[in-house]
Structure 1
Amino acid sequence: MFFKRVLPAICMALLFVAHMAHGQGAPALSVKKAQTLAANAKLGKPISKDLFGVFFEDLSYAADGGLYAELIQNRSFEYSASDRKTWNPLTAWEYTTEGFGYGTISVETAKPLHFNNPHYVLLNIDDAGQQGVGITNAGYDGICIKAGQKYDFSVYVRQVSAKPVAMQVDLRGDKGAVCGTFSFQTQAGAWRKYTGTITATASSDTARLTILARQRSVLAIDEVSLFPHNTFKNEANGLRADLAQSIANLQPKFLRFPGGCLVHGDGINNIYRWKNTIGPVEQRVQQRNIWNYHQSTGLGFYEYFRFCEDIGAKPLPVLAAGVSCQNSGGTWKIGGTGQKGLSLAAMKGYIQDVLDLIEYANGPVTSVWGAKRAAAGHPKPFGLQYVGIGNEDKQTNDFRDRFKMIYDAVRAKHPEITIVGTVGPAPSGEDYDLGWKFADQLSVPVVDEHFYEKPEWFLKNNSRYDSYRRPKSKVYIGEYASWGNTLINALSEAAFMTSLERNGDIVQMASYAPLLANLKHTSWNPNLIYFDNKTLVPTVNYYVQQLFAVNQGDVYIPGIISLNRPGARADSTLAASCVQNSETGDVILKIVNAGPQAATAMAKLSGLGMMAANAKIDVLQGQPSDKNTIDQQKNIIPSHAEISVAQLSGYVVPPYSLSVIRISLKGN
């Protein structure tokens, strides 16, 4: 029915474009190419244009100390034992006295910078000595600086004493050597923000930032900040450029944020509230992270939306369904019983928060929340299309009642928004079955399935979505990964991803998870990208995701590729797909061989109107290893070459490989 309805329109549109004079946008299609595209579309079935994206969750220090470019840890003295038992407001800080200076330091709350940010340091300096008295921050495992690079410093100071105070800010490297400095003078009175730029004169992986008062005084200090001057896209309060670029290089069609389990939190008082994460950073509400550290919320919903825009990804914010994580209170197991629900009286305000988010993203500047977006620097709407409600939730009456309340309210006021529901934390079982039953009852447009399984599961479940009833809700595979970062893990995922293309009419979206992990603070494995302060390591799984995402099509064409391995019957380690991208006209073949012997792929391209003599080929290939370490896998990267189209009638598929072949319709 799809093609009976829209194929004539597609053909007419393509022919119209072909005869149009050259103008802005994509090059005009030839009549023959338009006819070829229409014919190939008739052979195949549509694939969601949002199929491959990414999922960001703030775990393993993915945000603070990671993607969020802030270099100062505990910049506003809000750490506490509720974050981690050994933490307090001076964690990552030390009191600094030099040259016989002395005084006292305390953490106060009497006259804060903002009531959402109650703690600050009070320095009472009796004698500044020869060099000064102040505080030093160690950053996240040190501060990584590079010679010649600029760093933007800021601090809020409330000078209690009367006379102006000379202040000095130093970046100090090995053995305390000064690697850059900035000086300013404070004034008595209310809280004031002081800013400056420090140019590093030397490189260091373990630098520290020191703030010194150079004379006798009483000073309140808060919100100490140091950012690399060059953030991703030069955004203010921005992102670490190399990490953000590595995500952008995946060319994701969407970005799900700010989490998974982070969203519904450890108890109802820890539910992630998006309104706490917007506005001036010093006024945002910080909170404990369910992964046992601290969220500064410097990377908040405004920054997430902005990042989506910068990388061309559709935003997919996920909000709690009015209940906390069933694993709240430390019961980390499937089917945990720690789920708590907001009171029905509190749900009215919570539902309004959900509606306000849509207005914040899409509303005009004349609306209440659209005006707040504009005040942050973005008058243009963000174009929100999807909103996720819930994450892996236990299918209880508390969950279902609250989900339905939110669902009905959003559908009534914003029918243009696609709601993404949830069917539990596993690909089968009680929550999965009950979740699908509930989704069918409500006709939820998209549901979120999750699975972390062994490589064998992915190979044996290549046909998982072939038999799904098409009238059901569409599927978003919000979190999936095989247990490891070895080549076999990546190839099993690649084989499974060919089935997602084959079933791209029912699978709306898919995202590997988790995305980022700090090598020194990893709370979950596997991950797609590992990093430390100095560098990052894309995994072999990363390259699989990238090869699929940058070579995505919107039409799946069946029956093009047949696979054979001599002496073997049909083998789950062999998989393939053929798609076409209607914007470029390119036909893309993806062929996976997760076995130890070479195989033969026979591509029947004659009926697709392929006129090109050569094609581009990317091959990800290596030897499998049972050592699941980054060092063992980081040298397995795709190779690039050209291949004759004639060779594709009997292409030899290397063992343990993914081949991606892109054929252009040049000459048509």
Structure 2
Amino acid sequence: MNTPRLFRTLEAAALGTAILLPAAFAAETESARSTLTVQAASAGTPISGDLFGVFFEDLNYAADGGLYGELIQNRSFEYSATEQNDWGPFFSWTVERRGGGDGGINIKTARPLHPNNPHYVALSVKTPGQGVGVVNSGFGGIPVQTGNAYEVSFFSHQLFMGEAWSPNNGIEGRPMPVVVRLESATGKVLAEQTFRVTGRDWQRYSARLTPGQSDGAARLVLLAGEKGGIALDEVSLFPVQTFHGRKNGLRADLAQAIADLKPKFVRFPGGCLSHGDGLTNFYRWKDTVGPVEQRKGQRNLWGYHQSVGLGYFEFFQFCEDIGARPLPVLPAGVCCQNADNSPGHGQEGLPLAEMPAYIQDVLDLIEWANGPATTTWGRLRAEAGHPEPFGLKYVGIGNEDQITPVFKERFKLIQEAVKARYPGIQVVGTAGPFPSGEDFDQGWQFAREQKVDVVDEHYYQSPEWFWENLARYDRYDRKGPRVYVGEYAAHERDRRNTLRSALAEAAGFTGFERNGDVVALASYAPLLARRGHTQWTPDMIYFTATDVVLTANYYVQQMVGQNQGDVYLTTDLAKAAGRKLLTASSVRDTRTGDLIVKIVNGDSTPAALSIRLAGLPAGNHRALRTVLANLQADAVNPDGQAPVVRPDTAEMSVAPEFAMEVPANSFTVLRIRR
């Protein structure tokens, strides 16, 4: 850290031992010291073991071009002008003619690889030259590393060889030679592999490419080498080194950054994405499972295409890989109230005659996730490589929906069907998009009437709002539905990821933790954003093709996630005169026995604390102290440089009573080992 005098800790050797302070320090703090008392030996209050999680929405290119490991953009030629005005099936593809070669490409639909994947390319070679084919540069350049392996694959079949109208299309005994290369932008060959496409049936061709040098903006080149024609679809390039080495897996560095948060659950796939921009734009989970070439991509309401290569199986598998519970969100039978460019007036409900089939889709998801491999949908999961159930506990129904009679009628049908078939599933409802107002009030009233298990609240508010609402959940009814703070973030006026905003979120989490008996779940939003393709700010993690930028907000979430507990311990904070932005919470991790104290100082001056851990045995106790701080509350971690806001961790020892100064603009976590 580049902040002088970041922290000073003064410890007593044992209970009752005087703390010797430097005279200047004593004079400076004696009249301005706050007192923090933790009932360290009490039984405490059990709180949710799933309190901290993450929320993934395919927003800001979070999936394709982001967490999903695929390096080819528009691999199945399904982009459309309905997504962006200048898009079409050829977007991100160009024709390549080399060494006097001549030919071209057309989009076809006559014999698709699968009905869900209707478009493919017909590549015709009139004069072979040194090859005629297609080039794809991925999402602004394909990053490859020397020595790393990449799996290239494509589906193809022969159309004709020689002349198109020759007998038997001239393909008998005449395969089409195809070379696939990784090249630099200047045409230098980094790796290549040759294939022989044969026959009239779609076949998958694949090989590993290992580039001889690194390149941050390579391209994939596919060239046919003889006169004739072939069909192409699902042209793919994947790093072999995906997260946990999974096939069709995730970008390793982004997935690891999420895993390092230690979330207890992952909410997916959205958000607004789930209920979509109109009834035909629902995110349908069944369209996202099975072989990737058979999945049904569609327009993303955030303004681009979603291939659903990162589908429900991959989401559930990722949750299992990082030790998190899956929390899928399904539409409540209505689309977004802002659909069709009609803010506040666009909500439509599925016709009631279609609701039984839709409800069956919801029930089928639970069978797919939890059913034995002998069931219809459990078998599909097993065939994908996961014979054991995933252990689904939560299902979200709806997202930020306008609380109308249309919504209520359909939500009630879904909820009652789920509870009748699967009473152990926790249904997560919604209370609209804001932390107050008509939808919020009506949503909560309806949730109580329906005895909904958990209600999803969302708020994107100023840092000041978070500090002013630390006691928000103190007054919530413990006998009603529990709360999921499904989307929250502190928004500066300029929407930057400042330390100030991160500390406001840390302060908010102390309120969640203190009320963890009623706040069951909480997740920051949004999670990911690709630079140059961002529809929403601020976000927790920014990235490019090669880099990952961790914000101050990320580090707050990481400190919280890595220091979770399941029992809240009464924590009393007597603030010194003039001390405004100071708060704390304390928990016990019953698995380890550790005592965890979180302290947030949002003021621009250090805070002197007298800390009493009531009931802690006399003597010194080992502890880890992690501090996130900067003298400037406006500090933001820059792209391409070392972060200016990041946690520092050090070992220390504490006694049952000790004094400590926490820095200005800081979040401190003390983890006392037991």
Q: What TM-score results when the alignment is normalised by the length of structure 1? A: 0.91
The structure-2 alpha-carbon separation of the partners of 1:421 and 1:220, relative to structure 1 and needing over 3 Å to count, comes to: same
Instruction: State the alpha-carbon separation in 2 of the partners of residues 611 and 388 from structure 1.
Output: 48
Aligned to 1:435: 443
In 1: Cα distance, 2:555 partner to 2:279 partner: 38
Q: Which has the higher contact order (CA 8 A, sep 6+)?
A: 2
Q: Residue 211 of structure 2 aligns with which residue?
A: 200
- Provide the secondary structure at the position in 1 that maps to 2:179: strand
- Partner AA of 1:491 in structure 2: L
Alignment partners' CA distance in 2, 1:453 and 1:142: 36
Q: How does 1:489-638 map to 2 (within 5 A)?
A: 489-559=501-571, 561-565=572-576, 567-568=577-578, 571=580, 573-609=581-617, 612-626=620-634, 630-631=638-639, 634-638=643-647
TM-score by length of 2: 0.90
2:152 corresponds to which residue?
A: 153
C-alpha deviation, 1:202, in angstroms = 1.4
**Cα deviations across residues 295-348 of structure 1 (Å, max 9, x unaligned)?**
10100000000000000000000000000000101245xxx1101110000111
CA distance in 2, matches of 1:157, 1:303: 25
SS in 1 for 2:473: coil
The aligned counterpart of 1:469 is: 477
Is the aligned partner of 1:390 residue 2:402? no
Query: Greater shift after overlay, 609-618 or 53-62?
Result: 609-618
Give the Å deviation of 1:637. Answer: 0.5
Amino acid at match of 1:144: P
- 1:74 corresponding residue in structure 2: 74
Measure the CA separation in 2 of the matches of 1:522 and 1:188.
Answer: 43
Counterparts of 1:210-229 in structure 2, within 5 Å, are 210-229=221-240
Counterpart of 1:327 in structure 2 is: 338
Tell me which residue corresponds to 1:140.
139
Q: CA deviation at 1:513?
A: 0.4
SS in 2 for 1:227: strand
Select which of 154, 175, 185 maps to 1:164: 175
Aligned counterpart, 2:10 = none
Q: Deviations over 1:182-230 (max 9, x none)?
A: 1111112211110100001111111110000111111000000000010
The one-letter amino acid paired with 1:292 is G
Distance 1:490 1:94 in 2: 44
Gaps of 5+ in 1: 1-38
| Letter matched to residue 170 of structure 1 | R
Cα deviation for residue 436 of structure 1 reads 0.3
CA distance in 2, matches of 1:416, 1:608: 39
CA deviations on 1:56-114 (whole Å, 9 max, x unpaired) are 00000000000000000000000010111110000000011000000131000011111
Q: Residue 50 in 1 paired to residue 50 in 2?
A: yes
On the 8 A contact 2:599/2:667 being kept in 1, the answer is yes
Alignment size in residue pairs: 619
User: Among 177, 180, 190, which residue is 2:188 paired with?
Assistant: 177
- Contact 1:288/1:294 (<8 A) preserved: yes
CA distance in 1: counterparts of 2:646 and 2:549, whole angstroms = 11
Give the Cα separation in 2 of the matches to 1:382 and 1:238.
18
Deviations 1:128-173 (A, max 9, x none): 11x1000001100110111111100100011122111111001111
Q: Answer whether contact 1:326 1:337 (CA < 8 A) is retained.
A: yes
Work out whether residues 157 and 191 of structure 1, in 8 Å CA contact, stay in contact via their aligned partners in 2.
Answer: yes
1:237 aligns with 2:266: no
Q: Are 1:415 and 2:423 matched, yes or no?
A: yes
SS of structure 2 residue aligned to 1:156: strand
Distance 1:449 1:485 in 2: 22
Report if the CA contact (8 A) 2:149-2:210 is conserved: yes
Secondary structure of the equivalent of 1:524? coil
**Could you say what secondary structure the match of 2:380 adopts?**
helix
Is 1:446 matched with 2:458?
A: no
Which of these residues, 367, 371, 377, is aligned with residue 379 of structure 2?
Answer: 371
Q: Deviations over 1:632-665 (max 9, x none)?
A: 9932100011223039622111111111001111
Contact residue 485 and residue 633 of structure 1 kept, 8 A: no
- 1:639–1:42 distance in 2 versus 1, CA, 3 Å: closer
1:481-515 deviation per Cα after TM superposition (whole angstroms, max 9, x unaligned): 01141000000111111111100000000000000
What is the aligned partner in structure 1 of residue 12 from structure 2?
Answer: none
* Whole-angstrom CA distance in 2 between matches of 1:477 and 1:102: 59
1:237-278 CA-to-partner distances (Å, cap 9, x unmatched) read: 000000000000000000000000000000000011000000
- The separation in 1 between residues aligned to 2:499 and 2:584, in whole angstroms, is 17
Equivalent-residue separation in structure 2 for 1:182 and 1:266 (angstroms): 42
Higher helix share: 1
Q: 1:46 to 1:67 in 2, by over 3 A?
A: same
CA distance in 2, matches of 1:648, 1:92: 64
Specify whether residues 549 and 67 from structure 1 end up closer, same or farther in structure 2 by C-alpha distance, changes over 3 A only.
Answer: same
Task: Say whether the 8 Å CA contact 2:604–2:631 is kept in structure 1.
Answer: no
- 1: CA distance between counterparts of 2:575 and 2:403? 44
Counterpart CA distance in 2 for 1:40 and 1:307 is 36
Counterparts of 2:333 and 2:616, CA distance in 1 = 51
Match of 2:651 among 642, 655, 663: 642
**Distance in 2 between residues matched to 1:405 and 1:329, nearest whole Å:** 26
Q: Which residue of the other structure, out of 354, 365, 368, is the alignment partner of 2:362? A: 354
Matched, 1:266 2:277: yes
The amino acid of 1:506's aligned partner reads: V
